[in-house]
Amino acid sequence: MSRRTVLKAGATLLLSVLAPLRAYAAQILAVRVWPAEDYTRVTLENDTDLKATHFIVKDPERMVVDIEGLELNPTLKSLVAKIQSNDPYIKQVRVGQNRPNVVRLVFDLKEEVTPQVFTLAPAGNYKHRLIFDLYPNKPIDPIAAMIEKGDWTDPAPETGAAAAAVAPKPTPKEQLAELKPDLKAEPREELKNELKTAEKFDKNGKLVRMITIALDPGHGGEDPGASGKNGSREKDIVLSIAKRLKAKLEDVPNIRVMLTRDGDYFVPLGTRVEKARKVQADLFVSIHADAFVQPTARGSSVFVLSEKGATSSAARWLADKENLADTIGGVNVKNHDKQLASVLFDLSTTAQINDSMKLGRSVLGEIGGINRLHKGSVEQAGFAVLKAPDIPSILIETAFISNPEEEAKLLDEAYQNKLADAIVTGIRRYFAKNPPLAKNRLT
């Protein structure tokens, strides 16, 4: 056999080996970027599991990612245009074919970050995902964030107790008639201290108890939640309602509000609870918009935690669905705080559930005045997001987004305002009967 024949045979063999590699090269199906103050997430959705390595380069700050088994395609190139100028952590990204079958991404950073790079198995409507989460080196302190944003309210000078400040008035108009404080003013040093201690003395020397409420708009980012027939998404509607509710609650003296998310990004269920506990919240209110397989299902509901099983099959089904948020939204299992989840479950007490039931009944009664109730009583199920051991917690299903008539309501600004007013009234009635005590949080 001649040398030429041998070389030709070798080349043919090599091509036969490389051909399957080309044929089965992974395909990037979509790229998404979710910038937020908490962290920025970059998602590469693909048709198979990808292997990636990454490292940080200093001066200037960069994160370099090499992805194996990948050829550059237009979808991946589009990542460059998806980086927004207001992204807190990413200045820009560069994409290129580093070597055969390996694509390199270079993230030019605005500051030092602590990256988490991990993969997610197919879930919901998503196929395989490669995730890059870029966290600030120094985690954001929720209390400091509230101070910086001006998310506090001055106590009413003539008020000696929070219970009187939040007691309901005879009519809804009167209930929300107080003047809103100037939230754009620069924080005074005493207010910074007050935010940390949740106590302050008025001009008469009486102790004023500030109330902190954590509002939790469900879903977000990679997790859109339920969707309506007209294309509306649960994550957008509940964020809009939560922002309206926040503004109305801040109209009430001695109340300040923390949002677990204030934009379109994903927050794990445990992190939502942890955020509320870090600001020593007095209440936790999670806001959702229900969906069911039948479009005829309708009505609002309020749920609290149950450790002994759900009060109905529908409540159990809904809790199971909502608890899938971490799977769909995407949690880095290796870094997930399993210990926190265990503590939240083990320390959930009868007292917390009893207080949650009181709050739930008060809010449900007010919501029933503006929308049909799916069930006339507060229901219970094992919602993961309600498992703070020391904070009365409720989950409000505002309406069925899967019902076209209720979807239209949820998209209507007037209805959102009425709903927010009802929740405010319910919260005020709860505090009128259950004045907040001095804080003695579990740590």
Mean pLDDT score, 35-46: 96
**How far apart (Å, rounded) are the C-alpha atoms in residues 388 and 372?**
29
**How far apart (Å, rounded) are the C-alpha atoms in residues 398 and 290?**
7
pLDDT at 260 over 90: yes
**How far apart (Å, rounded) are the C-alpha atoms in residues 114 and 137?**
5
pLDDT at 155 over 90: no
Q: Which sign, positive or negative, has the C-alpha torsion 169, 172, 174, 175?
A: positive
pLDDT for the residue numbered 174 = 36
Number of helices followed by number of strands (H, E) in the chain: 15, 16
| pLDDT, tens digit (0-9, with 9 covering 90-100), for 330-363 | 988 776 655 454 444 444 578 889 999 999 999 9
Percent of the chain with pLDDT over 70: 76
Three-class SS state of 1: coil
**Exposed/middle/buried for 338, CB within 10 Å: 0-12, 13-18, 19+?**
exposed
pLDDT for the residue numbered 407 = 95
Closest CA to 93 of 102, 104, 101: 104
Mean pLDDT score, 245-271: 95
Confidence of residue 315 (pLDDT cuts 50, 70, 90): confident
Q: Where are the beta strands (DSSP E) in 332-442?
A: 379-381, 393-400
pLDDT for the residue numbered 201 = 53
pLDDT at 49 over 50: yes
Q: Which residue has the tokens 């302050």?
A: 200
Contact predicate 271/340, CB 8 Å: no
Confidence of residue 439 (pLDDT cuts 50, 70, 90): low
Residues contacting 19, CB < 8 A, separation 6+? none
Specify the CATH number of the domain 142-433: 3.40.630.40
pLDDT for the residue numbered 317 = 83
Q: What is the CA radius of gyration of the chain?
A: 26
Measured between its terminal Cα atoms, the distance across the chain in Å is: 80
pTM: 0.81
Q: Mean pLDDT highest for which of 13-17, 97-101, 171-175, 410-414?
A: 410-414
Mean pLDDT score, 259-281: 94
Specify the CATH number of the domain 24-136: 2.60.40.3500
Mean pLDDT score, 287-295: 86
* Mean per-residue pLDDT of the chain: 82
Domain boundaries, the chain: 24-136, 142-433
| pLDDT, tens digit (0-9, with 9 covering 90-100), for 171-221 | 433 333 332 333 333 333 443 454 444 455 555 655 567 899 999 999 999
Structure letter (DSSP) for residue 88: S
Contact predicate 154/255, CB 8 Å: no
Mean pLDDT score, 438-442: 49
- Which tokens hold the place of 156? 């009413």
pLDDT for the residue numbered 1 = 56
Mean pLDDT score, 419-423: 97
Alpha helices in 142-213 (DSSP H): 142-149, 162-166, 172-175, 189-197
Closest CA to 152 of 204, 190, 203: 190
pLDDT at 23 over 80: no
pLDDT at 108 over 90: yes
Q: Mean pLDDT highest for which of 78-82, 136-140, 151-155?
A: 78-82
pLDDT at 26 over 50: yes
